[in-house]
């Protein structure tokens, strides 16, 4: 099961939901998910999903609130692989006396019957705003597999709806961005922490824990990699420095001879030649009296300087 499907399953099963919120979850669901199709010249209002548990959820929520239910059609398609598409049709509900369901959702059929328009909805209570955001995600939201990347998006048929969704998200400190795609507006989040916050707002707590765990493991892996990379880089630097020192000392020995060096430098030069792979501190420990790492470094730098002058 994809992570999206997992979250939607969890969200459709939330049982502790206030009565006030039920309608607003439906508002979120319908505003994002309702579409208009023409059949024999007649407009059909459809909520289409491949998610069985979501179709059941919408069906029973409508029935609970409006004491009537949409007509359900199951279609088997074979476009990519064989799968089932659920169509919840609201056309009859709209034509019957109960058509204020659409009005409640702030959805208007245009005069010529070819499109949908949206009235602004004003949601007062914070709990209901969460429910509205959850509805939108349930309808057209998706999230990438967090093992790979962080991306969450919700698609809206109208830019006005996207703006409204962003506005209510901002009320919870979440700032999604939007982009146009194939005549729809896509509202999206790309940052792990924001996605975690969003899942918290819409009440997907199980999914949130799972995402957090993956983030922790990822973070640790990155940290370990950083440390290893850093240590490798340091080691490389140390080895390169030692090679350079040995090279310079040999050059001095072959040209002017090591005896040309002052006694302190001569001593460290011999030690370095004999121990090309020990650290500066270890070299310092071999001296009598012992010398600090920076003291050893200083002497080796002077040898480097002498060699450089000899070479030019």
- Which residue lies nearer to Zn ion by CB, 65 or 109? 65
Q: How far is the CB of 135 from Zn ion (least distance, A)?
A: 12
Q: Does 126 bind Zn ion (CB under 5 A)?
A: no
Nearer to Zn ion, 125 or 170 (CB): 125
- Distance between CA 109 and CA 149 in Å, rounded? 39
The reply to whether 18 sits near Zn ion by the rule CB under 5 A is: yes
Could you check whether the bond before residue 19 is cis, i.e. omega within 30 degrees of 0?
no
Shortest spacing between CB 23 and Zn ion, in angstroms: 9
> What count of Cα atoms within 13 Å lies in the side-chain half-sphere of residue 212?
11
Residues 6+ apart with CB under 8 A from 172: 129, 130, 133, 197, 198, 201
Q: What angle do CA 202, 203, 208 make, to 5 degrees?
A: 100
26 part of the interface to Zn ion, by CB under 5 A: no
Stretch that binds Zn ion, among 14-22, 94-102, 113-121, 177-185 (CB under 5 A): 14-22
Q: Does position 20 bind Zn ion by CB under 5 A? A: yes
Q: Exposed e or buried b for every residue in 119-154, given b needs 16+ CB within 10 A?
A: eebebeeeebbbbbbbbbbbbbbbbbebeeebebbb
Applying CB under 5 A, does 243 fall inside the site for Zn ion?
A: no
User: Smallest distance from the beta carbon of 13 to Zn ion, in angstroms?
Assistant: 18
Pattern 169-188, Zn ion, x by CB under 5 A: --------------------
Size of the site for Zn ion (CB under 5 A): 6
Q: Which residues bind Zn ion (CB under 5 A)?
A: 18, 20-21, 125, 127-128
């Amino acid at each position: 099961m994809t992570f999206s499907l997992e979250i939607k399953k969890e969200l459709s099963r939330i049982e502790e939901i206030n009565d006030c919120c039920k309608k607003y979850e439906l508002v979120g669901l319908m505003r994002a998910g309702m579409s208009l199709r023409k059949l024999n010249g007649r407009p059909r209002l459809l909520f289409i999903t491949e998610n069985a548990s979501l179709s059941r959820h919408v069906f029973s929520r409508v029935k609970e609130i409006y004491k009537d239910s949409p007509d359900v059609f199951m279609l088997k398609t074979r476009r990519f692989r064989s799968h089932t598409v659920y169509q919840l049709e609201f056309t009859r509900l709209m034509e019957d006396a109960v058509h204020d369901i659409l009005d409640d959702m702030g959805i208007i059929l245009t005069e010529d019957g070819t499109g949908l328009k949206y009235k602004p909805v004003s949601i007062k209570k914070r709990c209901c705003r969460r429910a509205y955001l959850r509805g939108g995600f349930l309808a057209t939201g998706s999230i990438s597999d967090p093992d790979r990347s962080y991306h969450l998006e919700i698609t809206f048929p109208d830019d006005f709806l996207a703006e409204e969704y962003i506005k209510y998200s901002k009320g919870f400190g979440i700032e999604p961005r939007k982009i146009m795609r194939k005549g729809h507006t896509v509202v999206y989040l790309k940052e792990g922490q924001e996605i975690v916050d969003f899942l918290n707002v819409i009440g997907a707590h199980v999914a949130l824990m799972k995402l957090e765990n993956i983030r922790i493991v990822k973070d640790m892996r990155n940290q370990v990699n950083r440390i290893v990379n850093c240590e490798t880089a340091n080691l490389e630097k140390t080895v390169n420095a030692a090679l350079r020192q040995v090279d310079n000392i040999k050059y001095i020995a072959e040209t002017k001879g090591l005896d040309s060096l002052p006694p302190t430098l001569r001593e460290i030069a011999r030690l370095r030649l004999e121990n090309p792979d020990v650290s500066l501190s270890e070299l310092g420990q071999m001296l009598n009296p012992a010398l600090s790492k920076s003291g050893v470094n200083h002497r080796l730098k002077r040898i480097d300087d002498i060699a450089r002058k000899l070479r030019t």
